[in-house]
Amino acid sequence: MTFDFNADEIFEIAEQIEINGAAFYRQMADNISEASIRQLFLEFASMEDVHKKLFADLRANLSDQEKESRVFDPEGESAQYLHALADLRIFDQKAAEQFDLSESLDEPEKIKKVFWAAIGREKESIVFYLGLKGLVPEKLGKDKIDDIIQEEMKHLRLLSNKLTSLKA
């Protein structure tokens, strides 16, 4: 079965990825006692919440044509496929499981590892959206996917800049 996705489906997945990301950042913050780092991860969680709202707003403003399905999919397989990809690759449960959350993450090396994990997940989300952009026909909102990518790139820059300042 060949899938063409519309912008509505992509934004739905983007919202879920942001929910997963916010949960990841909150889990990390809960295990860091250093106030400035803890606050930073809580801010990243809030940014994910803002992104989720942005994507929900963008989704709500899509035209009927951008929400239109191009294939016969009575079982909703295309949406299931997208959800599976997002849940398996981007801010999935494994993102947090790589850390022993029964103990503090306050050691500098552990904090850097958290940053690297977050940077990796943000990169994966950008790659995910770039790949999906190729699957969305122009008339179904392909250009709207760029809005998602730009938001994720901002987040990646913030994480990278903070990691650089931690190394200094």
Domain parsing of the chain, residue ranges: 7-67+74-167
Q: Is residue 67 pLDDT above 70, yes or no?
A: no
Determine the pLDDT at residue 161: 92
Does domain 7-67+74-167 fall under CATH 3.40.50.12780? My reply is: no
Neighbours of 97 (CB within 10 A): 10
Determine the pLDDT at residue 73: 63
Neighbours of 118 (CB within 10 A): 25
Position 71 confidence tier, pLDDT thresholds 50, 70, 90: low
DSSP 95-143: HHHTS-TTS---SHHHHHHHHHHHHHHHHHHHHHHHHHHTTS-GGGTGG
Average pLDDT, the chain: 78
Q: What percent of the chain has pLDDT over 70?
A: 70
| Residue whose C-alpha is closest to residue 83's, from 6, 140, 9 | 9
Determine the pLDDT at residue 42: 95
DSSP 116: H
Q: 39-48, 59-68, 85-94: which has the highest mean pLDDT?
A: 39-48
Average pLDDT over residues 101-113: 72
In contact, 14 and 129? CB cutoff 8 Å = yes
116 to 51, 98, 123, 149: CA distances (angstroms): 21, 12, 10, 19
Determine the pLDDT at residue 147: 80
pLDDT in tens, 79-103: 676 667 666 556 655 666 666 655 6
Q: What percent of the chain has pLDDT over 90?
A: 10
Position 1 confidence tier, pLDDT thresholds 50, 70, 90: very low
Least confident of 6-10, 84-88, 142-146, 157-161: 84-88
CA torsion sign for 28, 33, 34, 36 is positive
Q: Compute the distance between CA of residue 137 and CA of residue 65 in angstroms, rounded to an integer.
A: 11
